[in-house]
Amino acid sequence: MPRVKVARKSTAIDMTAMCDVAFLLLTFFILSAKPKTQDPIHAEVPASTSQIAVDENDVSTVLVAQQKAFFGIAGVDLRIQTLKQMGDKYKIQFTPEEIKVFSGTESFGVPIQSMKQFLSMSSDERTALKQPGIPVDTTSNNELYNWVHEARVADKLLHNQEMKLAIKGDSQEEYPTIAKIIKTLQKQKVNKFSLITSLRTVTK
């Protein structure tokens, strides 16, 4: 009598489809990922219930923490134009090499006189450097005023639009520092800007 043989099935599963899916997802995440931009100083932003999202590629940011001010200009072309104008204003000639480095700098906080030195550093040195912040004095030496002003002029020139500005402040920052920044902006009739906050749910 012939015995009924149970067909022995292989335990190996076809992984091809799974592999396809995995790599498809991987590609999506790699392409959608934006490298996290390292701020030169850490600022713990305060929470609010505001739901308006900001596009950081479109908004120039004044970063305020530890009584220092940093300025981040949105967009590579705008950065180049702003640096050229600042060079003209302060009679500093920037080499094409330096302009290239500056166009890749997201946010900076050095006085204009040490800008050349700052741009000649290697990127590691620049990250490690404790930047002193842009001088914001209520008197004549208000470099932040000039930076914001030149950036606005440049944006008008390049894109014919009013530059959007945001303040990203550390939540424990004392108010006088913030007031100084706001006064600087108001002096050039910038009365409307955004405050960058993190999301908090409303407790009813």
Partner 1 sequence: MAELDTSGGGKKGGGKVRSKKQSTRVDLTAMVDLAFLLITFFIFTTTLQKPKAMDLTMPDKDEKQDTRLPVPESRTMTILLGSKNKVEWYIGLPTKPLTAPIVEGFGKNGIRKSLMEQGEQIKQKSGGKEMIVLIKPSDKSTYSDMVSIMDELNIIGNQQRAIVDITPIEIGLLKTSNIY
> Footprint of partner 1 on this chain (CB under 8 A)?
10-13, 15-16, 18-19, 22-23, 25-26, 29-30, 32-34, 36, 45-56, 59, 64, 166, 169-179, 182, 186-187, 189, 191-200, 202-204
Which residue's CB is nearer to partner 1, number 26 or number 157?
A: 26
CB 185 within 8 A of CB 165: yes
Token readout for 148 is 């914001």
**Closest distance between partner 1 and the C-beta of residue 59, in Å?**
8
Which residue's CB is nearer to partner 1, number 34 or number 91?
A: 34
The residue type of 139 is T
The C-alpha torsion from 110 through 116 and 117 to 120, rounded to 10°, is 120
Which residue's CB is nearer to partner 1, number 126 or number 180?
A: 180
**Closest distance between partner 1 and the C-beta of residue 88, in Å?**
28
**Closest distance between partner 1 and the C-beta of residue 165, in Å?**
10
Which residue's CB is nearer to partner 1, number 103 or number 194?
A: 194
Burial readout 74-104 (b: 16 or more C-beta within 10 A, e: otherwise): bbeebbbbbbebbbeeeeeebeeebbebbbe
Which residue's CB is nearer to partner 1, number 48 or number 138?
A: 48
**Closest distance between partner 1 and the C-beta of residue 119, in Å?**
27
Token readout for 204 is 């009813």
**Closest distance between partner 1 and the C-beta of residue 177, in Å?**
8
Element (H, E) at 59: strand 59-65
Residue 142, classed as helix, strand or coil, is strand
Phi first, then psi, for residue 25 (nearest 5°) are -65, -40
